Amino acid sequence: MKLKYTGELDRVTVRGVDFPRNKPVTIDCENLAEKMLAWPDVVEVKRGAKADGKNAS
């Protein structure tokens, strides 16, 4: 699962995992992912269209 921190700080570190602002981070620990998603400044990154408008295939 990929998560992205969107808060005001440049980065946060939780359980040794560094979350730079607005950059996706892959999380393998399901427990950590659930806890991070409870934060209002953390969102799940879903696979979708690329920035240039082309589909990600």
pLDDT one-digit tens code per residue, 7-45: 999 999 999 999 999 999 999 999 999 999 999 999 999
How do residues 44-56 score in pLDDT, each as one tens digit? Answer: 998 776 666 565 5
DSSP, collapsed to helix, strand or coil, labels residue 41 as: coil
User: Distance between CA atoms of 48 and 41, rounded to whole angstroms?
Assistant: 20
Task: Please give the model's pTM, rounded to 2 decimal places.
Answer: 0.76
